[in-house]
Chain A
Amino acid sequence: MAKDIVIEAKNFNFYYGSVKALTDINIKIEKNSVTGIIGPSGCGKSTFLRSLNLMNNLILTARYDGEILIDGDNILKKDIDVVQLRRKVGMVFQKSNPFPKTIFENVAYGLKINGIKDKELINQRVEESLKGAALWDEVKDRLHVSAFDLSGGQQQRLCIARALAVQPEILLMDEPASALDPTATLKIEELIQVLKSKYTIIIVTHNMQQAARVSDYTAFFMMGKLIEYNKTNIMFTNPEHKITEDYITGRFG
């Protein structure tokens, strides 16, 4: 069983200065699953997501304790190689943020800064990544135009391709479709279903129906605590806790 768990948080606490943002988070995330994280604004769901690749360490007042094991290694230990960690744990943000470069260079960027110089290998990885992000067919004839020429949905898939290029194991997605129209959202959601055969995906979403559609497991956070973590089909038909029921049925507050 243990080999199927790719991420495990143990008594994880997180503080912004004196403010405690996460309290005693314990969660085990299965390999090749999609986990949706839901909860009201300020509940700590993005903080938790960003803890999984130490993005929060960029905040000067951030402190944390407990453990977060990824493939059995505690990423909170002092001598962790953050660059290696972020290669393994890729991230896609709410707003697509391509670099002001060509489509090709956006995807190749991560490879180049990782010291890969072999052009053939780079070409191959760019193609694989764009195919993996279901964007290849739409851009293969214009790889050298600016990424900003793409639509919002295409830009978001480009960002996914960019994350895939460095061959991560885990993909963190922070509201990846919240700025997209329903068709582009559907493409991202379909892509998530395809990607989970290769990657473990954790997605923060404000859209309850999106969590219900894409995730295998759903975690409900509130006031910095993990209130309920359950299979998605149970979570959305018969949640264990009344507070979860109140939140997902909109009777919260």
Chain B
Amino acid sequence: MIDRRFDEELNELNNMLLKMATFTQESIYLAIDSIKNRDIKTAKIVIDNDKKIDEFELDIDDFSVELLARRQPLAGDLRFITTGMKINGELERIADLSVNIAERSIDLSSQPLLKPLVDIPIFSELAVNMVKTTIDSFIKRDAELAKKVISMDAEANRLRDTIQKELVEDYIAKDISTLSRGVSLFLVAQHLERICDHAKYIAEAVIYLVSARVVKHNKLKD
């Protein structure tokens, strides 16, 4: 017995997740552009779009719960729906962090430039790359690609530490008038690092989806 309707529903859930991933990626791109270009208008688009993303997250959750209740899925189907719900939540958090970056961008754009941005664009590129790769690993159901994302997280932590140390030691500690801008950039680094974390969590979920192996909390459990 092949239940084609259920396969169609699973496909639909997959497409909804891909759409959610597209919305989220768009938010990060725009938030980062707004920081780089000191562009308040773009930052506001990110903030406005978030409501749509929040609503879509709820739609995906509702649909997933409905599938669990009606289909009582097992094995690969069960893993897909439960990891899908997790990935959905992680994507929504990434979109929220993009909003946080956009808010800092509005703040920074209304003040003189503290310093030319060097490490923040590099960090942004890493975050965008991690999110893109983790979504690719989900699309391709590719555990190896997901592992690559996990291995990139150490660099994210390093960049955050470097940026935050520089801001505190070279600017805030030396000149208190830089405090507001310094803290905003400090927070941008923090938000970028959290985005990388959520990309890693998605990668861990993809590994479970593909192989049923739990790799989170640095553990490899069968």
A249 touches B79 (CB 8 A): no
A249 touches B76 (CB 8 A): yes
Q: CB-nearest residue of chain B relative to A234?
A: B212
8 A Cβ contacts from A201-240 to B: 208-209, 212, 236-239
A interface residues, Cβ below 8 angstroms from B: 208-209, 212, 236-239, 244-245, 248-253
Q: Which of A236, A252, A253 contacts B74 (CB 8 A)?
A: A236
- B37 at the binding interface (Cβ < 8 Å): no
Nearest CB on B from A172, distance (A): 25
B75 touches A248 (CB 8 A): yes
B contact residues, total (Cβ < 8 Å): 14
A253 touches B79 (CB 8 A): no
Interface 9-residue window, one of B1-9, B49-57, B120-128, B140-148: B1-9
CA distance A250 to B3 in the complex (A): 6
Nearest CB on B from A217, distance (A): 16
Nearest CB on B from A116, distance (A): 45
Given A236-B75, A245-B75, A251-B2: 9 more A-B contacts, CB < 8 Å: A209-B72, A212-B74, A236-B74, A237-B74, A239-B75, A248-B75, A249-B75, A249-B77, A253-B2
- B45 at the binding interface (Cβ < 8 Å): no
Contacts A/B (CB < 8 Å), 7 sampled: A212-B74, A237-B79, A237-B212, A249-B73, A249-B76, A252-B1, A253-B1
Nearest CB on B from A229, distance (A): 16
B77 proximity list for chain A (CB < 8 A): 249
A245 proximity list for chain B (CB < 8 A): 75-76
B interface residues, Cβ below 8 angstroms from A: 1-3, 6-7, 72-79, 212
A238 proximity list for chain B (CB < 8 A): 75, 79, 212
CA distance A8 to B78 in the complex (A): 32
CA distance A252 to B3 in the complex (A): 9
CA distance A245 to B76 in the complex (A): 7
A208 proximity list for chain B (CB < 8 A): 72, 74
B78 touches A237 (CB 8 A): yes
A248 proximity list for chain B (CB < 8 A): 74-75
B72 touches A250 (CB 8 A): no
B72 proximity list for chain A (CB < 8 A): 208-209
B1 touches A236 (CB 8 A): no
A244 proximity list for chain B (CB < 8 A): 75
A250 touches B2 (CB 8 A): yes
CA distance A250 to B70 in the complex (A): 14
A236 proximity list for chain B (CB < 8 A): 74-75, 78
B79 proximity list for chain A (CB < 8 A): 237-238
Q: CB-nearest residue of chain A relative to B6?
A: A250
Q: CB-nearest residue of chain A relative to B2?
A: A251
Q: A237-B79, A238-B79 are in contact. Are A249 and B212 (CB under 8 A)?
A: no
A249 touches B1 (CB 8 A): no
B6 proximity list for chain A (CB < 8 A): 250
CA distance A248 to B3 in the complex (A): 12
B2 proximity list for chain A (CB < 8 A): 250-253
B7 proximity list for chain A (CB < 8 A): 251
A249 proximity list for chain B (CB < 8 A): 73-77
CA distance A212 to B2 in the complex (A): 21
B212 proximity list for chain A (CB < 8 A): 237-238
CA distance A238 to B73 in the complex (A): 12
Nearest CB on A from B154, distance (A): 29
Q: CB-nearest residue of chain B relative to A239?
A: B75
B78 proximity list for chain A (CB < 8 A): 236-237
B74 touches A251 (CB 8 A): no
B76 proximity list for chain A (CB < 8 A): 245, 249
CA distance A96 to B24 in the complex (A): 57
Candidate in A245, A251, A253 with the most chain B CB atoms within 10 angstroms: A251
Nearest CB on A from B8, distance (A): 13
Q: A237-B212, A238-B212 are in contact. Are A250 and B1 (CB under 8 A)?
A: yes
CA distance A250 to B1 in the complex (A): 6
CA distance A79 to B115 in the complex (A): 95
